[in-house]
Amino acid sequence: MKVLLTRELGRLAKWLRILGIDAGYFSEENTSSLIIQALKDDRIILTRNHRIPQARGMKVVLINSERIKEQIAEALGALEIKPDLKMMFTRCVICNEELVYIEKEKIRERVPEYVFNTQKDFINCPKCNRIYWQGTHWGSVTKTLEGIIG
Ligand SMILES: [Zn+2]
């Protein structure tokens, strides 16, 4: 399942990516380009904008809450997605690319020494080249998601 979030839902887009969902972000205000992109990529539009017309073959999910935790719950509910812990951190939070494992030796110079010494697995975004590891945001992420995912 692929989604496309409108400009006011940037934070939600990042959270959905953390959960492993293919979440595109449309930062422009132009509604027709938004619809064209959603149809072209076969993406469900997630928005807080009530004025987005329901075009043929298009699915729009309205997000009502202004609070991020409730937005995550609304989105998952509407899309009927059960978050899977194994899917978490499989996508780059910034560019939505799928992350790939990278050999530890290759990133020695690019992470703090403490991290290198204490972490075993590292993943890398092929697009922006960011390096992630489980310790990155693990604690705070699971805390925010408490009560949303089982
Ligand atoms: Zn990236």
Domain positions in the chain:
2-87, 100-133
Name every residue whose Cβ is closer than 8 Å to that of residue 84 and which is 6 or more positions away in sequence.
20
Q: Which residues of the chain have pLDDT under 70?
A: 136-138, 149-150
Two tokens, residue 87: 């899917």
Q: How confident is the model at residue 138, as a pLDDT?
A: 67
Q: pLDDT digit string (tens) for 39-48? A: 999 999 999 9
Q: How confident is the model at residue 77, as a pLDDT?
A: 95
Cα–Cα dist 28/37, whole Å: 12
The pocket of ion ligand 1, defined by CB under 5 A, consists of 92, 94-95, 125, 127-128
CATH T-level fold of 2-87: Rossmann fold (3.40.50)
Q: How confident is the model at residue 86, as a pLDDT?
A: 82
Coil/strand/helix, residue 104: helix
Cα–Cα dist 119/77, whole Å: 34
Dist. CA 102 → ligand 1 center (Å) = 14
